[in-house]
Amino acid sequence: MKRTVKIAPSILSADFSMLGSEVRKILSSNADWVHLDVMDGHFVPNLTFGPPVISAIKSQTPLPFDVHLMIERPEEWFEKFKTSGADRITFHLEAVRHAQRHLTQLREMKVAAGISLNPQTGLDGLEYLLPFCDQVLLMTVNPGFGGQSLIETIVPKISKLRGMIDLMKFPVLIEVDGGIDANNAQRIFNAGADVLVMGSAFFNSKDQISLVKGIKTTCITL
């Protein structure tokens, strides 16, 4: 199946003192989505931001807001994140008991529904959820912080999930998050990823336009 890559810069690595202009850089670089990492200090050992910050920057760009909830009881927050501007919401399988119910709730709210798996969480059982998902986010680092190195053992997991999705023919995007950069992007895309989240590699880059162009040129199937 023909695939093209999408790039989702994560504002976790942006300069928080000027978030508006940082978000505008994502559009001018030709990237595709804005990735927003929400952390609660419980599900992950870090705290970031919530709906007020997201609604404050929503007006800065027409790009889709891809909200990654690294929080306990994410379902209690869906409505507030949708109101603040989330177009896509991903919650962690490890944080809920009734994933199918919550995926369905998101779709009923007209929000793209995503489920995320920590590095150690297997793909078993995911086949039952794929019909209810718009995206599966595979963590390629332990969630909580930007700037970590990709855990190489997750690369075969990406390929395995690609195989499952292609076999079942559901239009589910595979998103990968953590340690993605210009050096490994093509390999990760070839393993089966559709959406590359990029925090430090994007915001530390001195030439974001060339970075995105380079990745989009190499990450394409014929």
Site residues (vs ligand DX5, CB under 6 A): 10, 12-13, 35, 37, 68, 141, 143-144, 146-148, 177-180, 197-201
Q: Considering CB distances under 5 to 8 angstroms, the limit depending on partner class, which of ligand DX5, Zn ion, none binds residue 85? A: none
| One of 22, 32, 37, 66 touching Zn ion (CB under 5 A) | 37
Q: Residue 66, interface with Zn ion (CB under 5 A)?
A: no
Cβ-contact 64, 34 below 8 angstroms: yes
Quick check: is 87 catalytic? Answer: no
Q: Residue 92, interface with Zn ion (CB under 5 A)?
A: no
Quick check: is 66 catalytic? Answer: no
- Give the Cα separation of 67 and 9 in Å (integer): 12
β-strand partners of 40: 47
Cβ-contact 33, 66 below 8 angstroms: yes
Segment interacting with Zn ion (CB under 5 A) among 21-29, 67-75, 103-111, 214-222:
67-75
In the bound state with ligand DX5, the residue whose beta carbon lies nearer, of 86 and 180, is 180
Q: Residue 181, interface with Zn ion (CB under 5 A)?
A: no
Distances (CA, A) of 127 to 8, 115, 120, 140, 161: 25, 12, 17, 20, 9
Q: Residue 32, interface with Zn ion (CB under 5 A)?
A: no
The number of CA neighbours under 13 Å toward the Cβ of 89 is 31
In the bound state with ligand DX5, the residue whose beta carbon lies nearer, of 63 and 170, is 63
Shortest distance, CB of residue 197 to Zn ion, whole angstroms? 5
The terminus-to-terminus CA distance of the chain in angstroms comes to 9
Shortest distance, CB of residue 37 to Zn ion, whole angstroms? 4
β-strand partners of 8: 197
In the bound state with Zn ion, the residue whose beta carbon lies nearer, of 91 and 189, is 91
Exposed, middle or buried: residue 66 (CB in 10 Å: 0-12, 13-18, 19+)?
buried
In the bound state with ligand DX5, the residue whose beta carbon lies nearer, of 111 and 201, is 201
Cβ-contact 51, 83 below 8 angstroms: yes
In the bound state with ligand DX5, the residue whose beta carbon lies nearer, of 8 and 165, is 8
Cβ-contact 25, 7 below 8 angstroms: no
Catalytic residue chosen out of the listed positions 32, 40, 134, 177: 177
Shortest distance, CB of residue 28 to ligand DX5, whole angstroms? 19
Residue 159, both tokens: 């390929």
| One of 32, 177, 181, 194 touching Zn ion (CB under 5 A) | 177
Would you please indicate which residues are annotated as catalytic (active-site) residues? 37, 177
